[in-house]
């Protein structure tokens, strides 16, 4: 290993560990790491900073921003809250059905919109329902935990659901329909396995199921939303625009030169122009600058590592391992899932995609990429801190003060751990099974 | 049959619907599902914690039906007002009053012992009702401005209101608003100590309706 390879890899590693250890300063830490990477690459590999900036996948950042704004527009239609109320009615406030309806619902929603926005709008309704039902700690833990895993699975189901898949799409590793047709069925299998596992655990066993409780819960929720109406003037064109975006992602050939980022940008611009004043306010105040800067810093650090030739070195080393080529891919995916569990999906995917691209030259690319997306998804589900949705759910739950027995429900790292382990196991097993069958 | 613990559920409902509105909702469901036995069980288990609920359960046990809300008296008391600030909240009563005050700027004082989700609460009114904090409510003062609160258990010249009323209706602000309106919503006296509420002299209001 050369000095350049060592220095750039060390900066990346230290930055990732530091941002995981001190999340309150994570943006400062990764931006400082990116600065160090630019210096190191410039001095040790003669790669100018401008060259590293040129390698940043700006299309990925455009998709992240555009879909984030699109989610904000959808959120402002009040559709999420009312959907959650409909889910409550559909479940007839039966704890077991409620869990399944919300888990499946979050999976579906997360495939299309930012899962943080969806959680922020759906969780308050669910937390109120948990209070109205007199839910137990065990039920609170498994319901919220399974929802988080479902969010991750939904995000991995489509190429626009979450950052790892967006990165695959943006980097041109896979086409929209190519990814969708292979990842969607796998995530559905994992979701089915998750629900089966939850069914066996019976988290609802100690939560009241009397008809009186259900009547009161449904009656109250109905009253809480008695006058809330969907903003149809905004929702209808937004849904049409979303449909058009999906059609464009699926059908527009690459030869037209209209990439996924242009489709996402055009769709977001269209819905923002529906109400120009509101759209302008969203663009000014709701762009997720934190996510953009975080990803930019990661891309720069990964770019410096790439410029030093470290990924090539790893890719050359993998085939020398004394195991079969198929086992090498599986080992890579297991490591990828654990890296993601510690460093979260963005850093995990950004750092590992280059290695995956090398593996994809020797194995069916779709198997490697979809396998990687599922491994990253599994890692995101292992710990509460592995994805940003986890701490958000924790904060909302603590703030809601759901009473369970003599205390208040908690949803911390160790509460989530059993659910996370189940989610990790079923998702990773599905991914490995898919790769095993495809190679 | 044992009654499930409804304490937390009632708090959720009372926070965003108001104690009286939530009490009638729960009483109706209890009556339909468990009959008089369930109503009495609820009084025994929750009555002391939620005195308004207790009074409503007693009314239900006496055979009372969910009363219809007549907001005309309150609307009459609000005549001439351009701004109305509501202190405390009762969903059924605010819902009934708003159509009768089409030209009045209505806002809720966003302060409550039950910590409701104010955004969700107000989203029921589609922008028709605003919110104001304790720090800012005096900006809504003026010769055509009024304050409204809900009175519970008005008897013998006194009644009970939410504690926030003592702050906004204090002597230091009485000259800043034209009207101080009390709207009796419970319609009967308390049987237990009125926790969550404070006693006021009905004479301190410029108008009391529904008593």
Mutate to test the interface with B, among A127, A214, A216, A221 (most CBs of B within 10 A): A216
CA distance B63 to A348: 66
Give the residue among A201, A225, A208 at the shortest CA–CA distance from A130. A208
Give the residue among B174, B87, B123 at the shortest CA–CA distance from A229. B123
Which residues of chain B are within 8 Å of residue A403 when distances are taken between CB atoms? 7-8
A113 token code pair: 């919109």
Helix A365-382 × helix A325-343 angle, to 10°: 30
CA distance B178 to B92: 25
A-proximal residues of B, 52-81, CB under 8 Å:
none
Helix (H, G, I), strand (E, B) or coil at A22: coil
Give whichever of A306-320, A337-351, A373-387, B28-42 has the largest mean pLDDT: B28-42
Cβ within 8 Å, pair A132-B117:
no
Mutate to test the interface with A, among B28, B98, B120, B126 (most CBs of A within 10 A): B120
Same-domain status, B50 and B89: no
Contacts with A9 (C-beta within 8 Å, 6 or more apart), sequence order: A305, A308, A310
Lowest mean pLDDT across A96-105, A285-294, B181-190: A285-294
The answer to whether the CB of A267 falls within 8 A of the CB of A245 is yes
Q: What is the dihedral of CA B141, B132, B23, B1, to 10 degrees?
A: -160
Q: Is B114 exposed, middle or buried (0-12, 13-18, 19+ CB in 10 A)?
A: middle
The answer to whether the CB of A168 falls within 8 A of the CB of A353 is yes
Same-domain status, B102 and B189: yes
Question: Would you say residue A115 has pLDDT above 80?
Answer: no
For A158-172, what is each residue's pLDDT tens digit? 988 887 888 888 877
Residue B128 resides in a domain: yes
Q: Is B23 on the interface with A (CB under 8 A)?
A: no
The answer to whether the CB of A272 falls within 8 A of the CB of A108 is no
Which residues of chain B are within 8 Å of residue A227 when distances are taken between CB atoms? 95, 123-126
Place of tokens 């059905």: A97
Q: Is the model more confident about B144 or about A124?
A: B144
Query: B90: distance to nearest CA of chain A, Å?
Result: 12
Q: Is A31 exposed, middle or buried (0-12, 13-18, 19+ CB in 10 A)?
A: middle
Which residues of chain A are within 8 Å of residue B24 when distances are taken between CB atoms? none
Same-domain status, B85 and B40: no
Give the residue-averaged pLDDT of A230-236.
Answer: 92
B80 token code pair: 């001439």
Helix H segments across A286-388?
289-307, 310-317, 325-343, 345-359, 365-382
The answer to whether the CB of B185 falls within 8 A of the CB of B210 is yes
Query: B58: distance to nearest CA of chain A, Å?
Result: 19
Cβ within 8 Å, pair A215-B16:
no
For A60-82, what is each residue's pLDDT tens digit? 888 889 988 988 898 888 888 89
CA distance A33 to A300: 9
Q: Is B22 on the interface with A (CB under 8 A)?
A: yes
Q: Of A210, A216, A229, which has the smallest distance from its Cβ to B26's Cβ?
A: A216
Question: Would you say residue A24 has pLDDT above 80?
Answer: yes
Query: B117: distance to nearest CA of chain A, Å?
Result: 9
Percent of chain A with pLDDT over 90: 54
Give the residue among B118, B119, B101 at the shortest CA–CA distance from B110. B118
Q: Is A244 on the interface with B (CB under 8 A)?
A: no
Cβ within 8 Å, pair A212-B4:
yes
The answer to whether the CB of A425 falls within 8 A of the CB of A361 is no
Query: B86: distance to nearest CA of chain A, Å?
Result: 18
Same-domain status, B119 and B203: yes
Confidence of residue A50 (pLDDT cuts 50, 70, 90): very high
Contacts with A189 (C-beta within 8 Å, 6 or more apart), sequence order: A430
Q: Give the domain range for residue B55.
A: 7-61
Place of tokens 């209808």: A236
Cβ within 8 Å, pair A124-B117:
yes
Q: Is B170 exposed, middle or buried (0-12, 13-18, 19+ CB in 10 A)?
A: exposed
B88 token code pair: 């405390």
Percent of chain A with pLDDT over 70: 100
Query: A217: distance to nearest CA of chain B, Å?
Result: 8
Query: A147: distance to nearest CA of chain B, Å?
Result: 22
Same-domain status, B101 and B202: yes
Helix (H, G, I), strand (E, B) or coil at A334: helix
DSSP for A391-439, please give it: HHHHHHHHHHT-EETTEE----HHHHHHHHHHHHHHHHHHHHHHHHHH-
Q: Report pLDDT for A16.
A: 83
Same-domain status, B110 and B13: no
Cβ within 8 Å, pair B4-A225:
no
Which residues of chain B are within 8 Å of residue A216 when distances are taken between CB atoms? 6, 9, 13, 25-26, 29
Cβ within 8 Å, pair B9-A220:
yes
Length of chain A: 439
Q: Report pLDDT for A76.
A: 87
Given CA atoms A129, A134, A139, A140 in this order, what sign does their dihedral have?
Answer: positive
Cβ within 8 Å, pair B21-A213:
no
Give the residue-averaged pLDDT of B127-151.
Answer: 95
B-proximal residues of A, 394-413, CB under 8 Å:
402-403
Helices and strands counted in chain B (H then E) = 7, 8
A89 token code pair: 């009615």
Domain positions in chain A: 3-438
Cβ within 8 Å, pair A228-B117:
no
Confidence of residue A118 (pLDDT cuts 50, 70, 90): confident
User: What is the interface size between A and B, counted as CB pairs within 8 Å?
Assistant: 77
Given CA atoms B20, B22, B26, B29 in this order, what sign does their dihedral have?
Answer: positive
- The mean pLDDT of chain B is 94
At residue A98's C-alpha, the angle toward residues A92 and A100, to 5°, is 130
In angstroms, what CA-CA distances link B25 with A105, A129, B191?
Answer: 29, 16, 20
Q: Report pLDDT for A385.
A: 77
SS (H, E, C) A152-179: HHHHHHCCCCCHHHHHHHHCCCCCHHHH
| Total domain count, chain B | 2
User: Within a 10 A sphere around the Cβ of A209, how many other Cβ atoms?
Assistant: 14
For A166-224, what is each residue's pLDDT tens digit? 888 887 788 889 999 999 999 999 999 999 999 999 999 988 889 999 999 999 999 99
Q: Is B119 on the interface with A (CB under 8 A)?
A: no
Name B179's bridge partners.
B146
Name B160's bridge partners.
B152, B199
Place of tokens 């359960």: B57
Confidence of residue A399 (pLDDT cuts 50, 70, 90): confident
Phi, psi of A360 (to 5 degrees): -70, -15
Residue B1 resides in a domain: no
Q: Report pLDDT for B137.
A: 93
Confidence of residue A348 (pLDDT cuts 50, 70, 90): confident
Cβ within 8 Å, pair A131-B126:
no
Residue B138 resides in a domain: yes
Given CA atoms B131, B136, B137, B139 in this order, what sign does their dihedral have?
Answer: negative
Cβ within 8 Å, pair B9-A212:
no
CA distance B151 to B188: 11
Same-domain status, B37 and B80: no
The answer to whether the CB of A69 falls within 8 A of the CB of A286 is yes
């Amino acid at each position: 290993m050369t000095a350049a390879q060592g220095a750039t890899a060390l900066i990346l590693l230290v930055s990732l560990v530091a941002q995981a250890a001190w999340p309150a300063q994570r943006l400062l830490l990764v931006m400082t790491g990116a600065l160090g990477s630019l210096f190191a690459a410039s001095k040790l590999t003669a790669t100018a900073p401008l060259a590293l900036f040129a390698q940043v996948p700006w299309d990925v950042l455009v998709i992240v921003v555009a879909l984030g704004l699109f989610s904000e527009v959808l959120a402002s239609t009040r559709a999420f809250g009312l959907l959650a109320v409909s889910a409550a009615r559909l479940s007839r406030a039966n704890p077991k059905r409620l869990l399944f309806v919300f888990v499946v619902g979050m999976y579906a929603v997360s495939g299309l919109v930012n899962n943080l926005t969806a959680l922020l709008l759906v969780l308050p309704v669910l937390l109120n329902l948990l209070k109205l039902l007199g839910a137990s700690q065990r039920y609170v833990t498994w319901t919220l935990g399974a929802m988080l895993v479902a969010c991750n699975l939904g995000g991995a189901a489509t190429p626009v659901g979450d950052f790892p898949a967006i990165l695959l799409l943006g980097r041109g590793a896979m086409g929209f329909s190519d990814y969708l047709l292979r990842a969607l069925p796998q995530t559905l299998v994992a979701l089915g396995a998750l629900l089966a596992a939850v069914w066996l655990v019976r988290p609802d066993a100690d939560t009241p199921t009397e008809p009186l409780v259900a009547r009161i819960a449904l009656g109250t929720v109905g009253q809480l939303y008695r006058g809330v109406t969907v903003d149809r003037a905004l929702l209808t064109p937004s849904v049409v625009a979303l449909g058009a975006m999906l059609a464009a992602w699926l059908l527009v050939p690459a030869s037209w030169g209209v990439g996924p980022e242009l489709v996402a940008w055009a769709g977001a611009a269209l819905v923002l122009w529906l109400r120009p004043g509101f759209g302008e306010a969203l663009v000014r105040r709701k762009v997720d600058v934190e996510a953009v800067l975080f990803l930019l810093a990661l891309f720069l650090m990964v770019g410096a590592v790439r410029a030093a030739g470290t990924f090539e070195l790893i890719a050359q080393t993998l085939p020398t391992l004394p195991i079969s080529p198929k086992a090498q891919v599986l080992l890579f995916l297991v490591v990828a899932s654990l890296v993601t569990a510690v460093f979260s999906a963005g850093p995990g995917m950004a750092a590992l995609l280059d290695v995956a691209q090398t593996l994809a030259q020797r194995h069916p690319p779709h198997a490697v990429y979809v396998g990687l997306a599922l491994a990253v998804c599994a890692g995101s589900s292992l710990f509460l801190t592995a994805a940003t949705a986890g701490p958000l759910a924790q904060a909302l739950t603590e703030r809601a003060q759901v009473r369970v027995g003599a205390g208040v429900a908690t949803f911390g790292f160790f509460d989530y751990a059993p659910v996370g382990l189940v989610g990790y196991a079923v998702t990773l097993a599905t991914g490995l099974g898919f790769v095993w069958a495809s190679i | 049959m044992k009654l499930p613990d409804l304490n937390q559920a009632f708090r959720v409902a009372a926070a965003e619907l108001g104690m009286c509105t939530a009490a009638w909702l729960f009483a109706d469901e209890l009556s339909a599902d468990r009959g008089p036995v369930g109503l009495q069980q609820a009084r025994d288990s929750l009555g002391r914690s939620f005195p308004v609920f207790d009074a409503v359960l007693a009314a239900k046990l006496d055979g009372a039906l969910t009363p219809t809300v007549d907001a005309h008296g309150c609307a009459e008391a609000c005549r001439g007002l351009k701004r109305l600030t509501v202190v405390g909240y009762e969903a059924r009563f605010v819902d009934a009053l708003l159509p009768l005050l089409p030209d009045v700027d209505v806002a809720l004082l966003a302060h409550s012992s039950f910590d409701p989700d104010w955004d969700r609460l107000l989203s029921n009114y589609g922008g028709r009702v605003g919110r104001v904090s304790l720090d800012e409510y005096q900006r809504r003062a003026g010769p055509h401005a009024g304050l409204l609160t809900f009175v519970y258990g008005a008897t013998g010249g006194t009644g009970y209101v939410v504690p926030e009323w003592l702050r906004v209706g204090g002597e230091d602000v009485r000259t800043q608003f034209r009207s101080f309106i009390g709207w009796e919503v419970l319609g009967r006296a308390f049987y237990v100590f009125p926790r969550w509420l404070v006693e006021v002299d009905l004479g301190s209001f410029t108008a009391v309706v529904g008593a």
